[in-house]
Chain A
Amino acid sequence: MSTGLIEGKTARRRLPWGPMARMAGRRALFAAPVLLAVTFGVFAVADASPFDPVKAYTGTAGLTASQENLDQIRANLGVDQPLTTRWWNWLTAALTGDFGDSSVMRQPVADVIAERMGWSVLLAASAFLIAIVLGTALGVLAARRQGGWLDRCASAAAYTLEAAPAFWLGLLAIWFFALELGVLPAGGLTDTASDVITPGQVASHLVLPAAVLGISQLPWFFLYVRQGVADALDEDPVRGARARGLSETSVLLGHALRSGMLPMLTLIGSRVPELITGALLVETVFSWPGIAAATVEAATSVDFPLLAALTVLATTAVLLGNLLSDLLYGLADPRVGFDG
Chain B
Amino acid sequence: MADTLWRSTGRTRRSTRTVRISFSAVTVAAVVLAVLIVPPLAQLDEQAVDLSKKLLPPSWEHPFGTDDVGRDLLLRCVYGLRISLLVGLVAALVATVVGTLVGAAAAAFGGWTDRIVMRLVDTFASVPHLLLGIFIVAMFRPGVWPVIASVALTHWLSTARIVRSEVLSLRSRPFVDAAISGGASRLRLTARHLLPSVLPQAGLAAVLMVPHAMWHESALSFLGLGLPTHQASLGNLVQSARSSLLAGDWWPTLFPGLFLIIPTLAIAGLAGAWRERINPRRRSELML
- A residues apposed to B, CB below 8 Å: 33-34, 37-38, 41-42, 45-46, 49-51, 143, 146-147, 155, 159-160, 162-165, 167-168, 171-172, 174-175, 179-180, 186, 219-220, 223-224, 227, 230-231, 233-234, 272-273, 276-277, 280-281, 284, 295-296, 298-300, 302, 304, 307, 310-311, 314-315, 318-319, 322
Residue of A nearest to B127 (CB): A315
Give the docked Cα–Cα distance between A34 and B129 (Å): 16
Is the CB–CB distance between A299 and B134 below 8 Å?
Answer: yes
User: A38 with B127: in contact, given A51-B139, A147-B3 (CB under 8 Å)?
Assistant: yes
CB of B253 within 8 A of CB of A163, answer no
Given the complex, which residues of B lie within 8 Å of A146, measured CB to CB?
Answer: 2-3
Question: Is B250 positioned at the interface, with any CB of A under 8 Å from its CB?
Answer: yes
Known: A175-B250, A311-B127. A165 touches B222 (CB 8 A): yes
- Interface residue SS majority, chain A: helix
The residue that A37 contacts in the complex, of B123, B136, B225, B264, with Cβ under 8 A, is: B123
A46-B139, A280-B223 in contact; A234/B1 too (CB < 8 A)? yes
Contact with A along B237-274 (1 / 0, CB 8 A): 01001100110101001101100110011001000000
Number of A-B contacts (CB under 8 A): 152
Judge if B39 is at the interface, Cβ distance under 8 Å.
no
Distance between Cα atoms of A295 and B246 in the complex (Å): 24
| CA distance in complex: A165, B262 (Å) | 12
Contact B2 A307 (CB under 8 A): no
Once A159-B287, A234-B1 are accepted as A-B contacts, the answer to whether A318 and B141 lie under 8 Å apart by CB is: no
The interface residues of chain A lying within 8 Å CB-to-CB of B135 are 42, 45, 299, 307, 311
How distant is A235 from chain B, measured CB to nearest CB, in Å? Answer: 11
Are B138 and A179 interface neighbours, CB within 8 A? no
Cβ-defined contact, A302 with B139, below 8 A: yes
Question: Smallest CB-CB separation from A187: which chain B residue?
Answer: B246
B286 interface contact, C-beta 8 A? yes
Are B260 and A299 in touch, CB under 8 angstroms?
Answer: no
**CB pair A302 B138 closer than 8 Å:** yes
* Chain A, Cβ-Cβ closest to B248: A179
Residues of B within 8 A of A38 (CB): 123, 126-127
Q: Can you list 26 residue pairs at the A/B interface with Cβ under 8 Å?
A: A33-B119, A37-B123, A38-B126, A38-B127, A41-B123, A51-B140, A147-B3, A159-B287, A163-B260, A167-B219, A168-B238, A168-B253, A171-B245, A171-B253, A223-B286, A233-B2, A280-B223, A295-B134, A296-B223, A299-B134, A299-B137, A300-B225, A307-B138, A310-B131, A314-B128, A315-B127
In the complex the two chains form, is B223's CB within 8 Å of A281's CB? Answer: yes
Asked whether B136 lies within 8 Å of A171 as measured between CB atoms, the reply is no
7 more CB-based (< 8 A) A-B contacts, given A162-B286, A165-B219: A50-B140, A164-B257, A227-B2, A230-B2, A234-B1, A276-B128, A277-B219
Question: Does B48 lie at the interface of the complex (its beta carbon under 8 Å from any beta carbon of A)?
Answer: no
Q: Is B130 an interface residue (CB 8 A)?
A: yes
Residue B42 interfacial (CB < 8 Å): no
Residues in A with CB closer than 8 Å to B140 are: 49-51
Binary contact track B177-205/A, C-beta < 8 Å → 1, others 0? 00000000000000000000000000000
B65 part of interface (Cβ distance < 8 Å) = no
- Bound-state Cα–Cα, A42 to B124, Å: 11
Does B4 interact with chain A (Cβ within 8 Å)?
A: yes
Query: Does B224 lie at the interface of the complex (its beta carbon under 8 Å from any beta carbon of A)?
Result: yes
A160 contacts B261, C-beta separation under 8 Å = yes
Known: A50-B141, A165-B222. A34 touches B3 (CB 8 A): no
Q: Residue A168 contacts which of B1, B141, B260 (CB distance < 8 angstroms)? A: B260
Q: Does B122 contact A (CB under 8 A)?
A: yes
* CB atoms of A281 and B219 under 8 A apart: yes
Note all chain A residues with C-beta closer than 8 A to B257. Answer: 164-165, 168, 172
- When distances are taken between beta carbons in the complex, the residues of chain B under 8 Å from A51 are 139-140
Contact B222 A314 (CB under 8 A): no
In Å, the complex CA distance between A276 and B223 comes to: 15
Q: Which residues of chain B come closer than 8 Å to A276, judged between CB atoms?
A: 128, 130-131
Query: Does B96 make an interface contact (CB < 8 A)?
Result: no
